Amino acid sequence: MSPCVSRCEELTRASMIPRLTNGMFGPEGYRFEEVVDSTNRMAMTLAQEGAPHGTVVVADGQTGGRGRLGRSWASPPGVNLYFSMILKPELPLERVAMLTLLTGVALAECVTAAGLDGARLKWPNDLLHGGRKLGGILAEMTARGERARYVIVGVGLNVNGRATGFPADVAQRAVTMAEVLGRDSNRGEVLADFLHRFTGWYRCFLEEGFASVRAEWLGYARLTGGERVRVTTESGEVTGEALDLDERGCLMVRRGDGGILRVMTGEINFER
């Protein structure tokens, strides 16, 4: 058996079906591909063709993995998790960004449950360990009027192997679970655990609102209120202190002049 085939094994339908027991992501919606350009692209196509809520597209490797802000996502085969969930929530557009934060909470919980201490969430879509990137989330949406028609939530999680195997520009800023834990993890187990946790948070969010997700997110973000950040938004760059997450999921930043900026979309960098 080639190394790829044996490593893919843990993510195939046959391996995953017994693990997909939570209802929202059932066996019928599980799609596994050995190689695909981007699971987000494929999930979007499937959603357009009518694939139902709860479909999840998983690939062993991607040839054109996409990150936020037009970046690429290093996606070597055989080591990491790359997957995209098709969601069809009855949500007004302004609440869709909360799904990225909710996904972050499920991801942080999942790696913590796998034994990894010190996972941290960075607004809006990064999972970090020791300041390095362990995972990322890319949510893409199609709207119908004022509501989301479907949302594709893509997740990349660096599981096994070493980040030094990534392209040079990414390698220094990335880390894998294996590097922290000192051992490999079964990707199928990690994925099933994530889907289970995501389902719990998703139902809680739809039934009770954003408050619990926000509280949990803040726990993993560990904002100190004094941390200097540089925020890049569509209207330019602002420096200040990251203070809080508001009830809509916006990052609250205190500017130098004392004014509070609520950032809905953008990117933050910690300043040293």
Helical H segments across the chain, by residue range: 3-8, 13-16, 39-48, 97-113, 168-171, 177-181, 187-208, 211-221
Give the nearer residue to ligand BTN in terms of CB position, either 158 or 243. 158
Number of residues that bind ligand BTN (CB under 6 A): 21
100 near ligand BTN, rule: CB under 6 A: no
Taking residues 145 to 164 in sequence order and writing x for each that binds ligand BTN by CB under 6 A, - otherwise, the string is ---------xxx--------
**How many angstroms separate the Cα of 251 from the Cα of each of 85, 169, 238, 259?**
25, 27, 13, 14
Angle at 124 between CA 119 and CA 126, to 5 degrees: 35
Q: Are 113 and 68 in contact (CB under 8 A)?
A: no
Q: Are 78 and 146 in contact (CB under 8 A)?
A: no
Taking residues 196 to 225 in sequence order and writing x for each that binds ligand BTN by CB under 6 A, - otherwise, the string is ------------------------------
Q: Which stretch binds ligand BTN (CB under 6 A): 22-30, 67-75, 208-216, 231-239?
A: 67-75
Q: Which stretch binds ligand BTN (CB under 6 A): 47-55, 62-70, 89-97, 253-261?
A: 62-70
Query: Which residues inside 25-44 make contact with ligand BTN, applying CB under 6 A?
Result: 38-40
Using CB under 6 A, list all residues that contact ligand BTN: 38-40, 62, 65-68, 71, 73, 82-84, 125-126, 136-138, 154-156
